[in-house]
Chains A and B, each alone.
Chain A
Amino acid sequence: QVQLVESGGGVVQPGRSLRLSCAVSGVIFSDYPMHWVRQTPDKGLEWVAFISHDGTNRNYADFVKGRFSISRDNSENRQYLQMNSLTTEDTALYYCASDGGGGSFDHWGQGTLVTVSS
């Protein structure tokens, strides 16, 4: 079955960087567009970023403001989220999710927790 496993979360100081990774198995990864979605108790679920199946098309939520970069390595069945200039507002559980068509997310990982704190 489809499995998505995130890693790379942790505690980081404001202004620093972090790189999240998502390993995907059970599907032909190179066929699937992918996303990052985050969740906080206050704001709920927030879509963060999208990358097309071949990496040529990327799209970001407005709050990213050029700080985050999504990428993928189809040879490794992995996608990444490089997060720079982190603020406390970026503290969240970050999910990797596959695109289910029509803008939906059909498979989700269990999430990796990012805490931005001094």
Chain B
Amino acid sequence: SYLVTQSTSVSVAPGQTAKITCGGPDIERKIVHWYQQKPGQAPVLVIFYDEDRPSGIPERFSGSNSGNMASLTISGVEAGDEADYYCQVWDTVTAHRVFGGGTKLTVL
């Protein structure tokens, strides 16, 4: 089955830019989605179809997928962005959905 890898943690100061990456075989040919999860809460979709933002998600959140790596970029990081972030891929071969292990974003 398809495997997705994420770095375990990223730390940034407020106002800086955080980049969270997600890797996998030929991931640039896959559709990637990103979720934010704060402690005690359910995940929230923040980026879908590689780069689209659902309504209500700030423009500070952006996504890309090229060069064998998918990325979630958060510009002007705020304290409220501290959370776990998960990438998720749709493996169209099996129709299975696969999550990365999650990246903990710490705002210093």
Report A's interface with B, CB cutoff 8 A: 35, 37, 44-47, 50, 59, 61-62, 95, 100-106, 108-111
A101–B95 alpha-carbon span in the complex (Å): 12
A108–B86 alpha-carbon span in the complex (Å): 14
Q: What residues of chain A lie closer than 8 Å to B92, measured between beta carbons? A: 103
State how many angstroms separate the Cβ of B60 from the closest Cβ of chain A.
20
A44/B48 in contact, CB under 8 A? no
A103–B102 alpha-carbon span in the complex (Å): 18
The SS class assigned to the B binding surface is: strand
Known: A45-B43, A95-B42. A102 touches B99 (CB 8 A): no
Q: What residues of chain B lie closer than 8 Å to A47, measured between beta carbons? A: 88, 96-99
* A-B contact sample (18 more), CB < 8 A, given A45-B99, A103-B92, A106-B45: A44-B102, A45-B43, A45-B88, A50-B97, A61-B96, A62-B96, A100-B33, A102-B31, A103-B33, A103-B89, A103-B90, A104-B45, A104-B49, A104-B90, A105-B97, A110-B41, A110-B42, A111-B42
A62/B1 in contact, CB under 8 A? yes
A44/B86 in contact, CB under 8 A? yes
Q: From the candidates A37, A62, A104, name the one contacting B48 in the complex (CB within 8 A).
A: A104
B42/A102 in contact, CB under 8 A? no
A104/B88 in contact, CB under 8 A? yes
Q: Is B14 an interface residue (CB 8 A)?
A: no
A45/B96 in contact, CB under 8 A? no
Interface residues of B in 75-106 (CB under 8 A from A): 86, 88-90, 92, 95-102
Q: What residues of chain B lie closer than 8 Å to A62, measured between beta carbons? A: 1, 96
B42/A108 in contact, CB under 8 A? yes
Q: Is B58 an interface residue (CB 8 A)?
A: no
